Amino acid sequence: MSAELDKSDTQEVMPYQGESWDSMVGTAHEVTGADFSKGNALLGVPFMLVHMTLRPGDYRHGVIDKKGELIDGTGCGKKHPYAYLRCVIAPERDLKRAVQRGRLTEENAELFEPGEQIGWLEAGTGVYRQVLAYLESQGYVVLPEGPPDGHFGESRFDSLPESWEFLKGETRFGPDGEPVYSAELRLHAPRGLRESTYENDYTKEGITRYFA
């Protein structure tokens, strides 16, 4: 989630001589980063997904014994990754159109500036799986064989990165040898995100986000 410097061009830096702020911004390099947000703020907000980083998480689905082994529930009992996603908010015309069509509330529309970068976290069976399906379809990764759907732990999109083949993007390894994977993307979400509510043996108020 660290910020990066825009290295698109090089230019001579002149001493500050009292220029206006707008003049300085127009000739400056920019530190590229993203404001962190909760995913539910992006409901109905049109955006372009531009980056994903996959990191090891602390979440382990199912009932784990003292030895760290799965004794009940779906999943493999190991720690599952989560995705940090970064997007660029659509132009003002797209935000206004979404409000007019009832896909976006005025309250949510006012949370963002057109063109700003926003980052949020996803895991589980919604957007997380959809992003992996997109990466696979575009030749970024090769995932194990298996069903695409099902409860958490039953889908091949819930497999661990150790079992993937990485073809595009950047892979490095954390202190425990777990892969940290990142990739530049161009995935347009003209209707933003939507939410689906559910209940199961683990929760009575579950919410999963999807691309709308």
Per-residue pLDDT at 91 = 96
Cβ atoms of 127 and 47 closer than 8 Å: no
Query: Which residues are CB-neighbours of 15 under 8 A, at least 6 positions away?
Result: none
Per-residue pLDDT at 1 = 45
Two tokens, residue 88: 């660029």
| C-alpha radius of gyration, the chain, whole number | 20
Two tokens, residue 105: 């509330």
Phi/psi of residue 141, nearest 5 degrees: -140, 160
Per-residue pLDDT at 145 = 93
Two tokens, residue 113: 């500036």
pLDDT averages per 10-residue partition of the chain, 212 residues: 56 83 82 83 96 84 57 58 95 96 93 95 94 97 93 86 92 83 96 83 71 94
Distances (CA, A) of 31 to 2, 6, 7, 112, 119: 10, 6, 9, 19, 15
**Beta-sheet pairing, 4-5 with 206-211:** unpaired
User: Cα–Cα distance between 39 and 49 in angstroms, integer?
Assistant: 13
Which class for 134: exposed (0-12), middle (13-18), buried (19 or more C-beta within 10 A)?
middle
Distances (CA, A) of 160 to 7, 156, 165: 33, 9, 11
Q: What is the pTM of this model?
A: 0.79
Per-residue pLDDT at 186 = 95
| Torsion, CA 33, CA 38, CA 41, CA 42, rounded to 10 | 60
